[in-house]
Structure 1
Amino acid sequence: MKGLFITFEGPDGSGKSTQIKKLAQYLTEMNIKYIQTREPGGTVISDKIRAILLDPEHQEMINETEVLLYAASRAQHVREKIMPALAEGKIVLCDRFVDASVAYQGYGLGISIDQVKAINEFATGGLVPDRSYMIDLPVEESRRRLIARQGQEFSVDLDRIEQKKQSYHEAVRQGFHEIYNKEQSRICLVDGNQSIDSLFSLIKSDFTLLFRKHNQ
């Protein structure tokens, strides 16, 4: 039986990484086979592309290059890591996927949504997550958490995307909401302002139902 592809989306600081770790721990306790990965990255080649994308020294990067580099990293990731794991019947937990490109490069950078989708359709071979947990968080709170995580004011320690202006991140958040409005059957939108445990309780409950249905 083919595995389940689960993605986590949302702004930096929304708690995606924490929730993925908690779901991974739950799967371990339930003795369910899974892999945990992230984007951009996930493979040797994809991680090298990630370094280029997020390097704050690369301010000259044009928008089209950004779109294509994310897609290139994803193409390698899908075929080298994600699809083989799904073929083995494993759960794949992935931090970001195509929704992130639509939100960040489409809505954030103002690139044609249709073009971003078409490029990623080619990159992924049409792979779509079985469930996407979209953690919503106001931009002000996202930036506050990033500052707290850095332990200082915004600086060069933030990556190239994190350093972008607030107006950009507001557009990205709006983009995530637009994506959710169009794909509510796939996406589970959750409030990132609640406690870690409350948030995980919602995610675990939804995932459990999805997993049971998948295995019927």
Structure 2
Amino acid sequence: MTPEKAHGLPGLFVAFEGGDGAGKSTQASLLCEALRAANIPLVRTREPGGTPVGEKLRSLVLEHGQGEIDARTEALLFAASRAAHVAQVILPALARGDVVVCDRYVDSSVAYQGAGRELGAQTVLDVNLWAVNGLRPDLTVLLDVEPAEGRSRRTAQDTPEDRMESEPDPFHERIRAQFLDLAGGSPDHYLVLPADGAEDQLGRMILDAVTGRLA
């Protein structure tokens, strides 16, 4: 049986989550290509970002050289970006009946600031649910990656790591554990896949899960 929608709007909200280097962007691209080929209207977006103000906040929280950002400020900047993103992009798209494919959402703040920065998962979740007025994804695809594997993938790309990526492995281990804990608490709304699986096989499983919910 397909789980009920997490909202009362005609569209479908799909979020991709996982540690840095898990392959979220790759799988989001594959999903969007398949949906477009089937003439399904969609919006692809990302967090932090998705709006003009969100992209400015993205540079503040992810780029090096922006000055010191303490953990609480960081958490609130992510929540502020998300509030604008939901109001200006995600809700209008869902109201039109589009599929929204989002690279990261609330779970990332719960994992990165709640667990990684040790602010407390429930505290960060409460702040973000207020920011988005309770909007949750219909399906969260969690690509599970070992921290060491994620770092290996990132460094192989020969691009500098951002502020979050460059944190030590224990930070990323806490993040991974929190993602898995979130998925375990609501299995009907999560698809947990090993990030080291074959790209095309992962893509088929994700597409099947999405089309099943569209049906």
- Name the TM-score class by shorter chain: over 0.9
- Deviation of the 1:210 alpha carbon: 1.2
Q: In structure 2, how many angstroms separate the alpha carbons of the residues matched to 1:41 and 1:150?
A: 23
Please state whether the residue corresponding to 1:150 is helix, strand or coil: coil
Matched, 1:195 2:203: no
Runs of 4 or more above 2 Å deviation: none
Q: In structure 2, how many angstroms separate the alpha carbons of the residues matched to 1:113 and 1:170?
A: 15
Deviations 1:135-157 (A, max 9, x none): 00111110000001126xxxxx2
Q: In structure 1, how many angstroms separate the alpha carbons of the residues matched to 2:84 and 2:127?
A: 14
8 Å CA contact 1:8–1:133 kept in 2: the answer is yes
- Deviation of the 1:58 alpha carbon: 3.7
Deviations 1:12-59 (A, max 9, x none): 111110111111011111000000000000010100000000011246
- Deviation of the 1:181 alpha carbon: 1.0
Matched, 1:180 2:186: no
- Deviation of the 1:161 alpha carbon: 0.6
Structure 2 counterpart of 1:90, from 79, 85, 98: 98
2:60 counterpart residue number: 52
1:129 counterpart residue number: 137
8 Å CA contact 1:102–1:113 kept in 2: the answer is yes
Structure 1: 5+ residue runs without aligned partners?
Answer: 152-156
Please state whether the residue corresponding to 1:117 is helix, strand or coil: helix
Q: Kindly, what percent of the aligned residue pairs are identical?
A: 39
Structure 2: 5+ residue runs without aligned partners?
Answer: 1-8
Counterpart amino acid of residue 62 in structure 1: D
| Matched residues, number | 207
Q: In structure 2, how many angstroms separate the alpha carbons of the residues matched to 1:4 and 1:205?
A: 14
Q: In structure 2, how many angstroms separate the alpha carbons of the residues matched to 1:99 and 1:171?
A: 13
8 Å CA contact 1:82–1:92 kept in 2: the answer is yes
8 Å CA contact 1:99–1:176 kept in 2: the answer is yes
Q: Normalization by structure 2: what TM-score?
A: 0.94
